[in-house]
Each structure stands twice: as structure tokens, then as C-alpha cells.
Amino acid sequence: MNNHVLCQRARECLPGGVSHELRYREPYPIYFERAKGAEKWDVEGKRYIDFKLGAASQILGHAHPEIAEAVARQMTRMPYTADCHPLEVEWAEWLCRLFPSAERVRFAGSGTEATMLAFRLGRAHSGRDKVLRIDGHFHGWHDMLLKGSKPGTNSPPSLGVPQVVSNLAVVTQPDLQVISDALENDCEIGTIFVEASGANYGSVPLPEGFLSGIRELTSKTGHVLIFDEVITGLRWAPGGRQSRDGVTPDLTTLAKVATGGLPGGAVVGRADIMDLLSPGEMRDGLSPPVSHKGTFNAAPMVAAGAVKAMEILSTGDVQNHADAMANRLRDGFNKVFGDLEVEALAYGDSSTCHLYFGGTTIDGLDAAAIRRTSPQLVKGLRDGLLSRGVDFMSFTSCVTGLPHTPELIDEAVDHFRDTISDLIRDGVLL
């Protein structure tokens, strides 16, 4: 099997040959068939150091033995019956212990589903239909929060999103005064969504004090404050960014690491809001007041892996190691930039590393400015790294995890140096 032939077959049955638009690549994508720890192998047997880690879901590394064992055991014991089961209770108890905002938990099918549900809860609780969301923050692919996910556009990056739905989203910069004015001017806004890391898992960091400031503001105004911790939950700290920074939102959306690196999602939050989902409650003649279904919510196989992941991740040791590895990676990349006299910056919070090629600082820049890298440079960087066996996430960003070692980081930095040298030689990078 080779990548090229697989792509030809794929393009006959999958639109563009892919199952997710970001996996598209010209002339063809790379098809992977095995992964272990921080490494993965493509169908041609080529090995890659992985800084994508399952779109940031596999902080424990690929095929972690304890997760694999827990899932395999559950597969033979009771894969899925669509009933209540003990593991969902145990998993929910873990999230309530770890996340300051979690008084109740409702599991969902993905991060996108979690944000859909959280917004419905926000509308139901506030009685207002509109949401305020921050420019460039990503909350999944559904209609309700798509407008503004591409920074600087104030529109949805997709056909097929009804204008009436987009009209329900107000997009602002992460500026407390601007947000306060927007809330005052538009009394239909009832809910506020914030990606807890800042846009794209922190490639656009939030201004200092923003999270505590917006908490203070919404505590006064009564708007429902939702932190999207799909990336940051259990990565920034066992209890997410909210526990690390000591700021408690009303609702939190989770997926990826919080679901043990398995398919799923969750909304956690204040009991009085979450209990709108309870069939024991009645509001306006409706019981439950907010309806939510989903065949695979809290599927036992996922719950088995997630509970095991909660046990391993609850001490914070894994996160500390991943942070140290990301630090080493950022230092290594910045040394390459310094040595090769490239005006660029490697930066990032927690276990992330982002690259900015417009100068040596991102201070004062908004999401649109930070994320404006030339397509030629992005492709050159990606192709150069892939040809040397290094895979990034989102092309100019990386995440690290438990299986990254100093040796793997240093090996990747060497490949990065060679790739940057080539880009200078070829005039792609000036």
C-alpha cells in the first residue's frame, strides 16, 4: 500500500479524499496505520514524531497500555446497551471533583455537541437567544457558533449556515470594555462563550486578567458564562484552565482529553442550570425543560477509558511533564530562529507551542494578525517537516504529552532546523 494509491481510491469515495477538511493535502495526504506513544507510522512504514497527538486528545500518548486494556475489557464485558451504567457515574464524579464549575455533568457525543448543548442551556436559562463570542475562537462546526471562528471575518466560513442563525452570534475582540458595551447595547444577548486558552488552543492568548474580568462582569449582569475547555480541560491542569487560574464559569464544555482520548464530549456546570436537563424538573409545561438525547452519550467503552484516564491525569504529573517538553520544544525552535536570523517566535502556554513568522513578539496583535501566515510558508514548513518525519498540529502549532522525551524533542528540533534552512535557501522565508 502506498499513500498515493490510497489517495486515488479515497478521492473516489470521500469528498476530497478525507474525513476532515484539515486532513486534506496536495498532492495527497499521508495515511497512517499504527501509532504508539509519541510516534506513528504511515502505510509505507515511514515513522513520524507526532506533535498532533490526536488533535490534542492523546495527552497520554497513542495506545497507552492502561487505556487500551480498560477499553478492551469493556468491549468484551458490555460494549454498549443504551442503559444507565456504573462507569458513567464514576466518570461524572471524577469531573465534579476535578472541575470547580462542575456540580452536574451531561455527557455528549463530541466537543461540537457539547457546545451545542451548552448554548441551548444558556438560552434556556437566560431566556435570551443571542450569544456573544470572541473573534477567532473555535467551538466546533455546528451552525450556532460558526460565525467568527475564522478571525477577522465576522461571518461563518461555510455555505449553508442560515443568516438568521448567524444573526444570533455577536462577535467581539477579547476586550472587556467592548464586551460590556455590547451587552449593554443588545439586551437579546444571554450567553457568552470563551475558548479558555484564547483562540486556537492559545495561538492567540487572552489578555492578562480577561477571564477573571469577564467572570466579574457576568456575575454582575447575570449572563451565562461558558468556558470552552475542550482543549484546556485536563491539559492545562487536571481541573482545566479554570482551576489553574481560579476562575469559575457557569458552564464548561469538555471533550478530547476529558473523554480519555476517545470519542465523546461533556457539559459540566452549575446545578441550577444543568438541572434543566433533568426529567424530574418541569418548566413552562416541559419536562425536562431542556431536551437532549444522543445514542452514544457516555458509552461504556468510552467511559471505561475515560475513568482510567482521569485516575492517571488527576495528579498533575503528566501535565507537568508535557509542559516541560513543550518548553524545551519552544526553546529549541527559538534557538533555531536566533541562529538562522529568522524574525519569528515560538510561544505558547501549558503543553502547546505555536509559531509566529511576522516578528519576534505577538504583543498587541489580534487573532487575524497573528494567524496571517502565507500559505506558501505554511505548506513549505509542513511538507519539509513531514518529509523528515515530524507531524505538527494545525500546521504551525504543536502539542506535547506524556510520551515525549527530551531525545524526541531534540530530534524534532534538528529536523525543524533543516526545514527552516531549506525555506531560507528557497526564498520562502526571508
Q: Which residues bind ligand PMP (CB under 6 A)?
A: 55, 110-112, 115, 138-140, 195, 228, 230-231, 255, 265
Please state the closest distance from residue 321 (CB atom) to ligand PMP, in A: 22
Nearest residue (CB) to ligand PMP, 255 versus 398: 255
Question: Helix and strand tally (H, E) in the chain?
Answer: 16, 14
| Set of cell numbers at residue 262 | 476517545
Residue with cell 434556556: 124
Closer CB to ligand PMP, residue 266 or residue 318? 266
Position of minimal CB gap to ligand PMP: 111
Place of cell 482551576: 243
Residue among 58 and 112 whose Cβ is closer to ligand PMP? 112
Alpha-carbon separation of residue 140 from 146, 160, 222, 291, 312 (angstroms): 7, 15, 25, 20, 27
Q: Strand pairing partners for 108?
A: 265
Q: Least distance from C-beta 110 to ligand PMP, angstroms?
A: 4
In the complex, least distance from residue 425 CB atom to ligand PMP, rounded to whole angstroms: 34
Pull the grid cell for residue 130: 443571542
Distances (CA, A) of 57 to 25, 252, 269, 323, 411: 22, 17, 22, 15, 23
Nearest distance from C-beta of residue 261 to ligand PMP, angstroms: 11
d(CA 248, CA 371): 29
- CB-based contact 336:420 (threshold 8 Å): yes
Question: In this complex, which beta carbon is closest to ligand PMP, that of residue 254 or of residue 390?
Answer: 254
Least distance (Å) between residue 20 CB and ligand PMP: 9
Cβ distance to ligand PMP smaller for residue 228 or 420: 228
Tell me how many degrees the CA angle 182-131-55 measures, rounded to the nearest 5.
Answer: 120
Report in angstroms how near the CB of residue 195 gets to ligand PMP at its nearest: 5
Our CB check for ligand PMP shows the closer of 319 and 334 to be 319
